[in-house]
Chain A
């Protein structure tokens, strides 16, 4: 089961080395595209269709869904969820998980609040420190995983409460009222049209960078290889520890970005930010078609999944569904997504097996 799902990416990973270093990999490229079509693209098409259907339904049934105001707030939330999803996906790709996304976010936002409100540090410097802190906090979890050989689940679970408690402890539950106009314009200004929040651009930039990492850099390919088959990757000379740490670092960076994004539109923040990040981060990953077994990523899928998910939330709110029921909707969306994804993967591996069997028969008959 694992071997079949991760097959496309294994082939990609075996194309090895930084892509573009040699011009002699047409076969690999072709298989890569086939693999990508099989594993990712179908979920992208499905998500586009789902989003169109959702928008059509809510646009006709609910009043005010397709107004620029509502689309703006969908974009605002979806941008953060997309970045969150990518922070989670980086570790899922390596067949790991990050339960501490929210707690790393809490550390980042606490630092931001302290520096801007209490210490009056210039915004640019504060942002740099926050990003570095996010990277370091996440790296520490990677180091602990490597040094102890424990699973990422238990390490990040422990840091979930250690970081979360630590952030609350150090800030003494303080509320920070952020007054920076630059951040405010980023989170609540407009970009090009009144329906687009500048944060959408931030999310797209993050998406492009992540896509480039996985498609154009050696470390990205190595991360895929580690996720597809860690032992094989190590045997073929990949320094898995370094790759793992790189993954944790990038994940922490994205957590910091997500924290900055949320701070930029909430403006009144405290260390309890991030307590409900876990579920959206996994919804974006699973809905986006990223294999939970690792070795595979669809950046476009994650971005679209965030848009679909926040459209659904917004639509339900517009239909006057009490907000108390939204947790239930979240849970059901995730459940439906994992079950559907699992069925799709099973069907695909069945088709592949059937095709292989037919090929084997065809090859045997002339002889």
Chain B
């Protein structure tokens, strides 16, 4: 319980709930069950995209290719169903396998070259997007299988079925990171690369596992998106970058690696989707949403840091040492020197 109270996303969630109640009373449309369904549907999708980034952040790396993989998987499924008339199940399975392979390729290249994930996935992400555009000549496949659509659009009153997918993915990722040997070694390598390698864990394996699962999750997100949009377009994923970072960061996942909060991500997704929807209900320009996301990222990281600094300062005070030096060190550790994506 105390852990929940200390969670970084708690103030944000509280503010969102209060704002939601106020909006629900003030405007008729916001509280309507269809609107809540739309919010939760968006949140479910955002959560899975966030998970795809979170598993990579956990290993102390990052992936700019989440969107690229999403686009490629979308096209692969669309192509298999539309052109080659594959059964839906087989097409989706093949798409997910393709997504995983793309992720594994990222992981292998990063592990072999010792380059940062930033620059490698910037390159591969663009390549994946390029393939998606090249194969389709930028023309979307419009016949998305009805089973995918009915899953993505299905709901029980205000509760979208997609949220179940997000719950499942969140639970699986959380459990894998906590209990599976590979998941634990992802966190160990992310927390302290040298210590982990010295104690016999393979960094390469952890990188491949993290990027591979990221690819799989990007594939899942692509299937969800396809159903919501009812179209398999190669433009899928081109705007996933910010959301993929916003969700885990606001949810309290450290950029430095070694920790991950999958539940926090889920809540951050709900918060983001609510803000998004509130701005639309209030007739604010949709571009404001994009701006708000950026500022929220900063605010969330800062809030997390302030919390950490407060903790450190308190300890410094106890030992009678001046806090300023420690504070600077903490600032550096919390994001300054810690995340140095290009410099490896």
Contact = CB atoms under 8 A, between A and B. Distances in A.
Interface in A140-186: 144, 148-151, 153-155, 157-166, 168-169, 172-173
Contacts of B343: 2, 95, 292-294
Contacts of B114: 1, 342
Contact of A148 (B109, B126, B331, B342): B331
Given A2-B343, A158-B297, A331 B134 contact: no
Given A148-B302, A165-B290, A157 B242 contact: yes
Interface string B231-267: 0000000000010010001000001000000000000
A61 interface: no
Contacts of B138: 324
Interface string B70-93: 000000000000000000000000
A92 interface: yes
Interface residues of B, number: 56
Contacts of B297: 154, 157-158, 161
Nearest to A92: B342
B334 interface: yes
Contacts of A150: 298, 301-302, 305, 334-336
Contact of B301 (A97, A154, A164, A335): A154
A342 B334 CA distance: 28
A40 B112 CA distance: 24
A318 interface: no
Nearest to A339: B113
Interface in B94-130: 109, 113-116, 118-120, 122-130
Interface string A317-338: 0000010111111111011001
A166 B291 contact: yes
Contacts of A339: 109, 113, 115
Nearest to B62: A153
* Tier of interface size on chain A: 35 or more
Given A149-B328, A327-B133, A332 B123 contact: yes
Contacts, number: 173
A230 to B, nearest CB: 8
Nearest to B127: A331
B339 interface: yes
A114 interface: no
A165 B294 contact: yes
A279 B295 contact: no
A277 to B, nearest CB: 12
Contact of A149 (B131, B245, B334): B334
Contact of A278 (B116, B122, B127): B122
Contacts of B255: 151, 153-154
Nearest to A159: B294
B102 to A, nearest CB: 12
B117 to A, nearest CB: 11
Contacts of A326: 130
B291 A165 contact: yes
Given A95-B342, A149-B336, A338 B133 contact: no
A173 B290 CA distance: 14
A130 B125 CA distance: 32
The majority secondary structure among interface residues of chain B is: helix
A164 B115 contact: no
B151 to A, nearest CB: 30
A326 B289 CA distance: 30
Nearest to A148: B302
Nearest to B136: A324
A294 B113 CA distance: 18
B126 A169 contact: no
Interface in B117-167: 118-120, 122-131, 133-134, 136-138
B344 A154 contact: no
A167 to B, nearest CB: 8
Contacts of B109: 335, 339
A282 interface: yes
A175 to B, nearest CB: 15
Nearest to B246: A161
A329 B126 CA distance: 9
B287 A168 contact: yes
A334 B305 contact: no
Interface in B152-202: none
Closest 4 pairs (CB-CB, A-B): A328-B130, A149-B331, A331-B127, A327-B130
Interface of A: 1-2, 92, 95-97, 144, 148-151, 153-155, 157-166, 168-169, 172-173, 278-279, 282, 286, 292-294, 322, 324-332, 334-335, 338-339, 342
Interface of B: 62, 109, 113-116, 118-120, 122-131, 133-134, 136-138, 242, 245, 249, 255, 285, 287-295, 297-298, 301-302, 305, 328, 331-332, 334-336, 338-344
27 contacts: A96-B342, A148-B302, A148-B331, A153-B118, A153-B341, A154-B298, A154-B301, A157-B245, A157-B294, A164-B290, A164-B294, A165-B293, A169-B288, A172-B285, A279-B126, A282-B122, A292-B119, A324-B137, A325-B133, A325-B134, A326-B130, A327-B134, A328-B126, A330-B126, A331-B127, A334-B119, A338-B120
